[in-house]
A and B are shown apart, each in its own frame.
Chain A
Amino acid sequence: MFTDFFFLLRFYGVPVTVTEWLALMRALALGLAPAGLDQFYTVARSILVKSEAYFDQYDQAFAAMFKGIETPPQIEDEVWEWLANPLDMPGLSDEERRLLAAAMEGLDLEALERMFRERLAEQDAAHHGGNRWVGTGGTSPFGHSGFHPGGIRVGGESRNRSAVKVAGERRYRGYRTDQEVGVRQFELALRRLRQLSSRNEGVPDELDLDETIEETAANAGRLSLVWRKSRKNAVKVLLLMDVGGSMHPYIRLCSQLFSAVNRSSHFKDLRFYYFHNCVYDWLYLDTSCSTSNAISTRRVLQELPSDYKLIVVGDAAMAPSELLSRDGIIWWGFGNEEPGIEWLRRLHRHFDHSAWLNAIPQADWDHAYGSVTIRKVREVFPMFELTVDGLTAATKKLMVRY
């Protein structure tokens, strides 16, 4: 049953396993999704998809599989009960009850029920204030908050959005994290950025088991605990990323690196800033590079001591004027007193260890667009290409300068 859905999910990248699928079949056999596609959507998702990062792919697979299938909206049992005995409806005043009784005189309830079902099936959107469709505030015989005494009240909170529609909306696109491939390798490379604090720093908070046993034995069995200082990673990293236009072909690669750095929880401190083509007076806090969300480069240099490891990620490819001229910054209306290259030199001087990761492959550095500026930047920073090997070489450089 629905086995195609299983394969479709895997096709869209949702990691479903057979065990989970069998659990879903069991759930269906137990009757946990009795009422149509909407409940199936929720039940299947809760059993098959284990991270909100896959919700979008689930929606895509669901929409592809069940496209065009609309379940008629559920008609609550209450409505049918009420239909059997309409005068019992709560909240009516006596006057209204009399009116209702009068209106019901000539009404054939079976015909009304049939008409209701038909009308619901025809309608495909919420409706308010008319006189034919099921909705609110109108005069049709179906709906609520309306004026037709002989009608059927349909619950005021009905959303009237089928699962297929919901799946089609793709609300979960923002949760996707398709960066699994490659991130892990970057992470492993970044593990090298590990400089453990020496045994002389820090508070003794780790039990030294061997020494404890020795001491306890020497103490004739009376328990005697010995502590030692644990070693923690003392590496602090400042990551500057270029989000200029020429970096667009490398967005995926940069996101993978970014994810890897983000997930590396072993750094003592980690800072991210962005720049556009070259570093000038301002560093940006997000990729939109707007000055309302920026911090001055001088302030960053003041705040961060020189033992931060500076990693710059960018293609170093720009018009020579952007790098070498005063007011070379690419934005109209903004100026920079000092040319970009001065800022780069300042950064390099401030931090003891720095490295530039270039997304352009090393083989192309001499003749790609921007080769002039690449050469100039290489005079300031040691430059490596943005691959796992390049990152590994860069981390070695970041640990030891010479």
Chain B
Amino acid sequence: MSQPTSQSSTYTGTSDYIAAPDLMQTVNVAVQLSRPLLIKGEPGTGKTMLAQSIARGLDMPLIVWNVKSTTKAQDGLYLYDTVQRLYDGQFGDRDVSDIAQYIRPGKLGEAFKSAERVVLLIDEIDKADLEFPNDLLWELDQMEFGIPETHETVKAVHRPIVLITSNAEKELPDAFLRRCVFHYIEFPDEEMMERIVYVHVPRLDKRLLDLAIQAFYWLRDVPGLQKKPSTSELIDWVQALARGGLDPQEIAARLPFMGVLLKKDHDVDVAQRALAGGRRR
């Protein structure tokens, strides 16, 4: 195991992201142990924002690798543009014998080559193929990879801080999980939610916010919803309410602008039935 790098600073949250104390602690553990940090949580709980906050809090640049279902591990290391080379060879005047021109580093490669220490976010790793996390194991452990085409080895100048987020759509392989430090972002409670909303919408009427939060948590508890509204939807909703200039009493009774909270027809039906059924607190 490589030696832990000394950190002059620890992560203590930033002004635009409310982090629970155990989350801050887990981030510091991951940094000190030089292991990737795996973050799981319901969609909309701010996993991507956490990465931005960590980068800002530790004063490091952030490199984001948005994983898609078609992403392969190789894409993160480097890309060898063979087609371009073929075309140049046939039509262009360029000297195609220098392969290095056609090698472009992927996000992981960028993070390794960077002169200063960076935070690397691998976003939504479970979107990709089942084997994708396993393919990255060696590179994440040893912090180096080879490029056979140019006989080059890319070694990390500074070990990047790796953050991985997962929506739990697929099970991640065990060998991969072993190497990570894990944190599950729970859905915030009402008090925490209030602070989060205030960070995003500072000049909000407290009474409006209280009623909105009450209605929001009631809505989350309604049985039969396929997609429960999340934090980001609450923030949008609160802003819509503030601009709509409605009577705050209406919020509880009618749940105006429901389309901001619920994105499925079925859910809207269920919610309206629950409202009409008089099951309001």
Contact = CB atoms under 8 A, between A and B. Distances in A.
Given A292-B273, A293-B224, A52 B184 contact: yes
Given A292-B273, A293-B223, A27 B29 contact: yes
A233 interface: no
A112 B26 CA distance: 36
A321 interface: no
A288 interface: yes
Residue among A17, A19, A20, A51 with the highest chain B CB neighbour number at 10 A: A51
A52 B26 CA distance: 15
B136 interface: no
Contacts of A23: 33, 35
A377 interface: no
A13 B32 CA distance: 28
Interface string B215-235: 000000001100000000000
Interface size class of A (residues with CB under 8 A): 20 to 34
A198 interface: no
Interface string A43-64: 1011101111001000000000
Interface string A16-40: 0101100100110010100000010
A46 B29 contact: yes
A39 B25 contact: yes
Given A221-B90, A286-B223, A55 B184 contact: yes
Nearest to B41: A52
A222 interface: yes
Nearest to A30: B32
B115 interface: no
Interface residues of B, number: 31
Interface string B175-203: 00110111110000000000000000000
B224 A46 contact: no
A274 to B, nearest CB: 12
Contacts of B90: 221-222
A286 B181 contact: no
Given A50-B177, A55-B184, A288 B29 contact: no
Nearest to B26: A46
A171 to B, nearest CB: 8
Residue among A39, A46, A47, A223 with the highest chain B CB neighbour number at 10 A: A46
A309 to B, nearest CB: 22
A42 B177 contact: no
A355 to B, nearest CB: 27
A30 B4 contact: yes
B86 interface: yes
B205 interface: no
Interface string B142-161: 00000000000000000000
B33 A26 contact: yes
A234 to B, nearest CB: 19
A27 B32 contact: yes
B40 interface: yes
Contacts of B180: 50
Given A223-B86, A292-B274, 13 more contacts: A19-B178, A32-B25, A32-B29, A42-B25, A42-B26, A46-B25, A46-B182, A47-B29, A47-B33, A47-B182, A50-B38, A55-B184, A288-B223
> Which 3 pairs across A and B sit closest by C-beta, in order of nearness?
A50-B177, A52-B184, A46-B26
6 contacts: A30-B32, A45-B182, A50-B38, A55-B184, A223-B83, A293-B270
Interface of B: 1, 4, 22, 25-26, 28-30, 32-33, 35, 38, 40, 83, 86-87, 90, 174, 177-178, 180-184, 223-224, 270, 273-274, 277
